[in-house]
Amino acid sequence: MASAAQPQIVAILFADVQGYSSTLTEGQRRRYHAVTDPETARILDEHQPLTKKPTGDGVVASFADTRPAANCALDLSTYYRNLDWHELELPRLAIRIALHCGPTSLGTNPISGQPDLVGDTVIEAARTEPVVTPGEVWATDTFIKLLADRNQDGRFAWDDLGERALAKAWGARQLFRLRLATGPPPLERSSRTAASTPPETAHPSGQSATAGQDATVSGWLKHLWRRYDRVIIGGMVAGIFAILAAVIGGIGQGPSPLAAPATITPATAAATATVVHPECTAPQKLDTKVRFFSEQPPV
């Protein structure tokens, strides 16, 4: 409820701390607020919110644009992640942050006398926050579409999480995990392809925006292993069987190479490099040249 409310498009940040009510004692809550409240206020003020309001174990804030809202959300998430909870003698807590944007009415709350905002945009941000993975920042497709137009420097990246059901039967929305493009990708991926670009409808002009490169060397290697693990393992098994076949074949044809004299003659070297395939009528020389993948002869 806000008097003399003026509707305008704003970005909404809704944050909540998981475990605040269920794990903290009264004394721990006082210590928690004494440490985190001043720093939370400092982070919010750095990004110049239009409004800000504590919600007990969280905060709701509005911003004139998506970029300061995104920066503020990531700064808050980093602050909580880096807190020394052991030194504070508190159990580790994680903050969930949701971002949304849309038309909202801003005005003065007649009860508190402070700037406040109302509207479905605020409610939708509040319904998105409970489904966020603790420790992460999620944003709606509407927020990402507008952020993409302001991401020319590639500072931000996001991963498509698909459609998710919102809290309290509010419906479903396409959601994205927001992060810095320079940071490592999360260990857990959604079933959909991770993306740094918004949905196709993000740009009326038809041009797509790139939010920075998502691939890293380690991620690329993990991707290769996940995709070609059977091929790699199969190749290793085939190689082991080939070595065993060569050793057994050598034993069947003459003295074991292990019993050979220390002095190796050209004839001995040629004999140890001969492998007879069961389907071949004549022995074939073992190709001992090491080749890179691109140099392998055609099959």
Q: Is 6 helix (H, G, I), strand (E, B) or coil?
A: strand
CB 80 within 8 A of CB 95: yes
The neighbour count for residue 165, using CB atoms within 10 Å, is 11
Which of 155, 183, 214 finishes a domain? 214
Number of domains in the chain: 2
Residue 12 inside a domain? The answer is yes
141 and 253 in a single domain? The answer is: no
Q: How far apart are CA 18 and CA 133, in angstroms?
A: 10
227 and 202 in a single domain? The answer is: no
Going by their DSSP bridges, the two strands 137-140 and 94-108 should be labelled as: parallel
107 and 153 in a single domain? The answer is: yes
Residue 263 inside a domain? The answer is yes
Which of 172, 195, 214 finishes a domain? 214
Residue 295 inside a domain? The answer is no
103 and 24 in a single domain? The answer is: yes
What confidence tens digit (pLDDT) does each residue in 23-74 have? 888 999 999 999 999 999 999 999 999 999 998 889 999 999 999 999 999 9
Domain assignment of residue 33, given as a range = 3-214
Query: What's the pTM value of the predicted model, to 2 decimals?
Result: 0.62
Residue 133 inside a domain? The answer is yes
In terms of pLDDT, which residue wins out, 257 or 161?
Answer: 161
Residue 72 inside a domain? The answer is yes
CB 155 within 8 A of CB 162: no
CB 131 within 8 A of CB 147: no
